[in-house]
Amino acid sequence: MDLFDLAGSEAIESIPFPTSEDGLLPYIQERRPVLLNGIREALPFTREWDYDYFKHHLQSIRVQRKSEDGIFHYLGFERIPMDDFDQMMETTHDGYALEPLKGRGVSDDLPPEIDVSLPPFVPEEGFRVSNLYVGPGKNTSLLHYDETHSLLMMLEGRKRFILFSPEQSDCMYAYSPFSLKAIRENRVVDSKVNCAAPDLESFPKLGQARGLAGWLEEGQALFIPAGTWHYIQAEGRNVSVNYFWMQNSLTHWLHQPLLNFWIKRRAIDVLDTLRKVKHKLSAA
């Protein structure tokens, strides 16, 4: 079996891309995933965005290599010339690109014509980052959650997804927020489950989970609420852009899995303080 065998019978809702500030509010408040149709019409700056567009406009791009398990873990990025990445896309397929386009981590080399606007329902004060993702095909994510809301827009290719509600966190087998190794490796938001071959003997509660599965097609966007567990698998060359933004209520932070994330952040703060104290004592 694979993780998609845990999909329930419910189909994900699909609506037109909201054009008002409150257009996504019911889904945000209820933490309910939804597919949005018509991104190129709603966000005209995306109309020409595909692989060829970025290949000709970017001089370089941030790339990660596959780990030994064949998964891209969003760790260990390096910046390489776009021509080298294009060669990789055509030959070895051993690379997955993540390039910030707006917000945190944007490169000084990003051309000014690549201009990202926020959808009307993404608040400026809560916005974190918008990323470009480019994959050669068959690239997969880990089963994980984000502490922010996410909107994943498909610009070329398609991706298959399965989502599990925050209420099913006990079935997802997350890394402990008290594990120093998990904190150092930034694995607290990840599941220990091998999505390609889930081991129900080692993770028996996983068999009780029921996911919401579907396909994200070109021209669509997938809204993934904060704390929602998700696993995504690409089919063929794929280009997508997402938005991350914070719009959580206090109630959400008091429940899993966001409570674990809050604990993790406090643990990181404590570790950073201890490192500073140790450095000062060593220098004294």
42: amino acid identity, one letter = A
- State the average pLDDT over residues 53-69: 90
Q: Are the C-beta atoms of 173 and 194 separated by less than 8 Å?
A: no
On the question of pLDDT at 133 being above 80, the answer is: yes
Q: What is the pLDDT of residue 276?
A: 76
Residue among 138, 131, 190 nearest 159 (CA): 138
Q: What is the pLDDT of residue 80?
A: 96
- State the average pLDDT over residues 39-66: 95
**pTM for the whole thing?**
0.93
- State the average pLDDT over residues 77-97: 94
d(CA 237, CA 235): 7
On the question of pLDDT at 188 being above 70, the answer is: yes
pLDDT band at 279 (very low <50, low <70, confident <90, very high): low
Tokens 């068999």 correspond to 207
3-class DSSP assignment, residue 61: strand
pLDDT band at 247 (very low <50, low <70, confident <90, very high): very high
pLDDT band at 269 (very low <50, low <70, confident <90, very high): confident
Percentage, residues of the chain above pLDDT 90? 78
pLDDT band at 10 (very low <50, low <70, confident <90, very high): very high
Q: What is the pLDDT of residue 69?
A: 66
Which distant-in-sequence residues (6+ apart) come within 8 Å of 176 by Cβ? 182, 188, 260
Half-sphere exposure for 262 (CA within 13 Å, toward CB):
13
Q: What is the pLDDT of residue 254?
A: 92
Residue 178 vs residue 111, higher pLDDT: 111
- The gap from C-alpha 201 to its chain's centroid, in whole angstroms, comes to 28
On the question of pLDDT at 183 being above 70, the answer is: yes
Q: What is the pLDDT of residue 284?
A: 59
